[in-house]
Amino acid sequence: MPPVIRVEALTKAYASGHVALDAVDLDIREGEIFALLGPNGAGKTTLISVICGIVTPSGGRVLVRGHDIVRNYRQTRTDIGLVPQELHTDMFETVINTVRFSRGLFGKARNDALIERILRDLSLWDKRKAKIMELSGGMKRRVMIAKALSHEPRVLFLDEPTAGVDVELRRDMWELVRQLRETGVTIILTTHYIEEAEEMADRVGVIDKGRLILVEEKATLMQKLGKKTLTIHLAQPLDAIPRELDDWELSLHHDGHELEYLFDTRAERTGVSALLRTLGDIGLGYKDLNTRESSLEDIFVKLVHTPQSDEVAA
């Protein structure tokens, strides 16, 4: 199946000269949930904005269902629903009119049955006559999704859907996104919450300083880069890691009470037994040991903190 979105050598340099996207290549598969992860300023919003036709690219091209976003702007924009970070709408308008109006903007005929279904799916039907200003933050976010879905897009972009929302609302949002995918909509979300990608995505892309540094199936990513962390609960706290332990990748936590060792489970020698032996040799006692799998968070932190090869050269 051809990709629903194809991004080729996409570059964006803002007028300031800042290169926000640097030769990005990416294919989005029909029906997937793709999470684009990256720290602040990495280029996530810029990438979405280019695909949605809000920001003009400096180089490269983007195809949405085979159509070029610059040459076939109307067609490609119709295929896309965008849920931006903030709601830009008339606060005095009712929920139902806001959503109806959004559909109209795309030149689509009024369809009350569809709007009712969207509002019901998003638990907004009871609020349909409320003014936007009367809604809670969580409801406003759902109105943004309803607006984005009103013209029946094939691909939905969610720009940081759960930034600043509480845990419960975040879970509701995740559930909602899963339900949307069931309806056949392809979903691309940006986030800096690793947990969000870990929870929902089929594939994960990591962007840093305008470059897509990794795209991988979530499961493969976690397995491939799978490391384990050994936590050693020390009998006595340490001020610093003794030099005798320089050979291991260690870090101190909890006021020096815990020593953590990050090791590769696939390595021929994990170094665990040698480490424990050395601890004994230098007289460092411990009360307990435990290991845990690395989370996507550990992997991510490691990735974005690993200098790219050309930076090393520079």
Ligand X SMILES: Nc1ncnc2c1ncn2[C@@H]1O[C@H](COP(=O)(O)OP(=O)(O)OP(=O)(O)O)[C@@H](O)[C@H]1O
CA distances from 143 to 17, 91, 137, 173, 200 (A): 36, 12, 10, 12, 21
Cβ closest to ligand X, residue 144 vs residue 232: 144
The three-state secondary structure class of 64 is strand
Instruction: For residues 156 and 144, give the distance between their C-alpha atoms in angstroms, rounded to a whole number.
Output: 12
Q: Decide: is 45 part of the binding site for ligand X (CB under 6 A).
A: yes
* CB atoms inside a 10 Å sphere around CB 88: 7
Q: Which stretch binds ligand X (CB under 6 A): 16-24, 60-68, 233-241, 267-275?
A: 16-24
* Residue 53 is a binding residue for ligand X (CB under 6 A): no
Two tokens, residue 121: 């799916």
Q: Residues 202, 36: contact at Cβ < 8 Å?
A: no
User: Shortest Cβ distance from residue 212 to ligand X (Å)?
Assistant: 12
User: Should residue 43 be labelled a site residue for ligand X when binding is judged by CB under 6 A?
Assistant: yes
The site string for ligand X over 143-182 (x = CB under 6 A, - otherwise) reads ----------------------------------------
Q: Does 73 bind ligand X (CB under 6 A)?
A: no
**Is 115 buried (19+), middle (13-18) or exposed (0-12) by CB count in 10 A?**
buried
Which residues have C-beta within 8 Å of that of residue 2, sequence separation ≥ 6? Answer: 66
Interface size with ligand X, residues (CB under 6 A): 13
Q: Which of 38, 57, 153, 161 binds ligand X (CB under 6 A)?
A: 38
Considering only residues 188 to 227 of the shown chain, the ones binding ligand X according to CB under 6 A are 192
Query: Does 57 participate in binding ligand X (rule CB under 6 A)?
Result: no
Minimum CB distance to ligand X smaller for 102 or for 190: 190
**What three-state secondary structure class fits 119?**
helix
- Binding region for ligand X (CB under 6 A): 14, 16, 18, 20, 38, 40-46, 192
